[in-house]
Amino acid sequence: MIKTYKFRAYPNKATEAQTNVVLELCRQMYNLALEQRIMVYKQSKKSLTCYDQINQLPELKKEFTQFNKIPAQSLQDVVKRLDKAYQSFFRRIKTCETPGFPRFKSFNRYDSFTLMQNNGYKLEKSNLILSKIGIFKLKLHRQIPLEAKIKTVTIIRKNNKWFVCFCCGNIISKVLPKVNRSIGIDVGCESFLTDSNGLKVENPRFLNKSTERITKLSQKLEKQVKGSNRRKKTKLLLGKAHEKVSNQRLDFQHKVAKHYVKHYDTICHEKMNCFKSFKGLNRSMRDVAWFQFFDILSYKAEEAGRKIVKVPAKNTSQQCSKCGKIVKKDLSVRIHSCPHCELILDRDHNAALNILRLGTSLQDPTSILDSSSLVKFNDLFVE
């Protein structure tokens, strides 16, 4: 399997200056490639592909010799990133989201570049040596396994700090022994998640505290004069506050995911596209958090040889987990109270039980209850 290792990196002054030069060149290349795509489209109504642009790189380098300072594959990566931005733009149009055309990148918005397999870098103990750039001292808080094959190395600048990501293939998974238990997980609006045993994992309070600070700093930033030193300082503080939240959230999600992967062989949760139906309340933030959580959960599960079953979200909160009848309720109703079988249960617990039942029926089709109101086997989908 593939795994990414991220380390804090400490370059000296000269290396830092040189890395900033490379980032700036990558940024220029990105903007150049974007401009080219826009111009070609305006003139001929034809779209350039990623390959067209990569093929033109050698020609371009003859004209703009400064790009010779960057390894060819890193430049190709810049063009691929632009292509990715285009693809997500088209995807958003298809799914009727706010499209947002790919943007020209300003200095603050281009902060990483990638080196490919064995090209322009060497890892010696805790030193990452980049040819023509310099040495990054890495804080190796954990070891990259010996069998790992490094595929790419990405250098990242974030809030005046540096990080290096090694994307490694050939990682051997550490399969955990079977425990013969399955669980359903429902993510909700009030708590972070509720599982089919009725356990609720609340949104941690420290996140709210940090969010308060972010709101205050953002308000301060709005009032400050553009380009002023004070504003720059607030911007950096704001960046650091955001970073703190995302680190805290990541840490929290790792712990929750670790718990479920350790104690259950099969973990069932809703398919992701359902979250569009949630309205209000910090939606974007929570959506991101859930996507990220399920990402972490799925790679931890893969690593441990556990199974993740994704079930369709349809009716998981409306259906009664005991009798299978539909009990309509809107989001504000927190208790599931069934008039048919008299089951009274926390709304999210009921949903988690439905998710578990759907998930396990998928594992063993004979266990599907014979009721027309239940989701049919064909509607289910495993990953």
**Residues 206-265 within binding reach of Zn ion (CB under 5 A):** none
120-179 positions binding Zn ion, by CB under 5 A: none
Asked if residue 240 lies in contact with residue 159, where contact means CB atoms within 8 angstroms, the answer is: yes
Q: How many residues bind Zn ion, per CB under 5 A?
A: 7
User: Closer to Zn ion at the Cβ: 140 or 326?
Assistant: 326
Nearer to Zn ion, 91 or 334 (CB): 334
Closest contact distance (angstroms) between CB of 372 and Zn ion is: 15
Whose Cβ is closer to Zn ion: residue 199's or residue 323's?
323
Identify the residue among 343, 363, 368, 374 touching Zn ion (CB under 5 A): 343
Min CB(189)–Zn ion separation in Å: 23
Please, are residues 71 and 120 in contact by the beta-carbon 8 Å criterion?
yes
- Residue 322 C-beta: closest distance to Zn ion, Å: 5
Q: With left for phi above 0 and alpha for psi between -120 and 50, is residue 96 left, alpha or beta? A: left
Q: Residue 358: phi, psi to the nearest 5?
A: -60, -45
What are residue 65's phi and psi, to 5 degrees?
Answer: -70, -20
Residues 277-336 touching Zn ion, rule: CB under 5 A, are: 320, 322-323
CB 47 within 8 A of CB 168: no
**DSSP state at residue 202:** P
Specify the residue, 298 or 350, whose C-beta has the smaller distance to Zn ion: 350
Return the DSSP state at 146.
T
How many helices (H) and strands (E) the chain has is answered by 7, 14
Q: Nearest-CA neighbor of 345 among 311, 378, 310, 321?
A: 321
**Are 235 and 221 a contacting pair, CB within 8 Å?**
yes
Question: From the CB of 343, what's the least distance to Zn ion, in Å?
Answer: 5
CB of residue 344 to Zn ion, shortest distance in Å: 10
CB atoms within 10 A of CB 345: 18
Which residue has tokens 């067209």?
52
Q: Which residue has the tokens 């809030």?
A: 159
CB of 250 to Zn ion, least distance (A): 39
Helix axes 283-304, 229-263, angle to 10 degrees: 40
Residues 94-113 binding Zn ion (CB under 5 A) are none
> Is the Cβ of residue 168 or residue 320 nearer to Zn ion in the bound state?
320
Which of 68/371 has CB closer to Zn ion?
A: 371
Per CB under 5 A, 345 contacts Zn ion: no
Residue identified by tokens 């356990």 is 199
Query: Minimum distance between the CB of residue 336 and Zn ion, rounded to whole angstroms?
Result: 8
Q: Does the protein bind Zn ion through residue 338 (CB under 5 A)?
A: yes
Of 132 and 340, the one with the shorter C-beta distance to Zn ion is 340
CB of 310 to Zn ion, least distance (A): 25
How far apart CA 180 and CA 52 sit, in angstroms, is 53
Which one of the spans 15-23, 86-94, 342-350, 368-376 is the region binding Zn ion (CB under 5 A)? 342-350
The pair phi, psi for residue 337, each rounded to 5°, is -125, 110
Q: Is 341 in the site for Zn ion (CB under 5 A)?
A: yes
Q: Which is nearer to Zn ion, 207 or 338 (CB)?
A: 338
Stretch binding Zn ion (CB under 5 A), from 145-153, 216-224, 270-278, 337-345: 337-345
For residue 187, the SS3 value is: coil
Residues that bind Zn ion (CB under 5 A): 320, 322-323, 338, 340-341, 343
